């Protein structure tokens, strides 16, 4: 009898632990594990369905913000500036008077630190000038937009150093956990997703940098110094020179 009670107690404890883990997974950290199964049950969302759901709520806010800053909506072009050290993703819109800051989102999670991404598994967020290639309405992290890492600059640097397996699948997405990507939280990614869809990904680029003033260390390879010089010029063209 006692052994049976002990056995049931262990089963109950195991179910309790499983329940806690399920809640944690549901809240984000492990969503990438269970979410594909959820999609298989309830069905995938289309890009159009996501926009139909979000636009009525978010369009008024985006249009009002753009009008307040003298930007026509939707803007003709956007530049996303990802500042790794400052943990900010700035959204700059082209206007008749030059680039104007339309939005700034806090980066809730991003692994690694300053420095370019060199290989798969190094935990680094890439640094460089990138295109955004496609929307993912069924992301394990709510919604996401893919960054085209590795780009030709990344491949050229890898050839010089004889590196392979550069990694990939870099996204800007929701939730507050991330490995090598930029996690903005669900509210921010919903707004950004709509904004990018309105502008069109062909008219958007992302400038991902270690900080507001990229500076190579003395022992960095030459290609890093060249990359950071280019990124400084890109930042100054959009954000203006530091005061």
3-state DSSP of 62-125? HHHHHHHCCCCCCCCCEEEEEECCCCEEEEEEEECCEEEEEEEEECCECCCCCCCCCCCCCCCC
pTM metric for this prediction = 0.83
Segment 212-217 shows an average pLDDT of 94
Axis-axis angle for helices 31-42, 2-26 (nearest 10):
80
Question: Which of 10-19, 206-215, 229-238 bottoms out in mean pLDDT, i.e. has the lowest?
Answer: 10-19
121-160 pLDDT tens trace: 999 999 999 999 999 999 999 999 999 999 999 999 999 9
Mean pLDDT, residues 166-185 taken together: 96
Q: Are strands 204-209 and 128-136 parallel, antiparallel or unpaired?
A: antiparallel
Q: DSSP characters for 196-210? A: HHHH-GGGEEEEEES
């Amino acid at each position: 009898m006692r052994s049976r009670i002990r056995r049931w107690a262990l089963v109950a404890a195991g179910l309790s632990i499983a329940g806690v883990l399920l809640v944690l997974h549901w809240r984000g950290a492990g969503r990438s594990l269970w979410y594909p199964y959820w999609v298989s049950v309830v069905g995938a969302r289309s890009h159009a369905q996501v926009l139909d759901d979000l636009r009525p709520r978010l369009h008024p806010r985006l249009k009002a913000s753009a009008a307040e800053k003298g930007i026509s909506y939707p803007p003709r072009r956007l530049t996303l500036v990802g500042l790794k050290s400052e943990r900010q993703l700035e959204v700059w819109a082209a206007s008749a008077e030059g680039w104007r800051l339309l939005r700034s989102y806090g980066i809730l999670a991003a692994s690694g630190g300053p420095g370019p991404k060199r290989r798969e598994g190094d935990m680094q967020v890439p640094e460089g000038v990138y295109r955004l290639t496609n929307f993912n309405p069924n992301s394990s992290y709510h919604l996401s937009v893919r960054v085209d890492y590795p780009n030709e600059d990344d491949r050229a640097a890898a050839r010089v150093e004889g590196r392979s397996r550069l990694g990939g699948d870099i996204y800007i997405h929701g939730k507050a956990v991330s490995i090598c990507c930029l996690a903005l939280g669900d509210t921010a990614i919903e707004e950004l997703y709509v904004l990018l869809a309105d502008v069109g990904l062909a008219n958007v680029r992302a400038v991902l940098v270690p900080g507001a003033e990229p500076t190579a260390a003395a022992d960095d390879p030459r290609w890093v110094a060249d990359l950071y010089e280019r990124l400084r010029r890109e930042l100054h063209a959009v954000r203006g020179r530091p005061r």
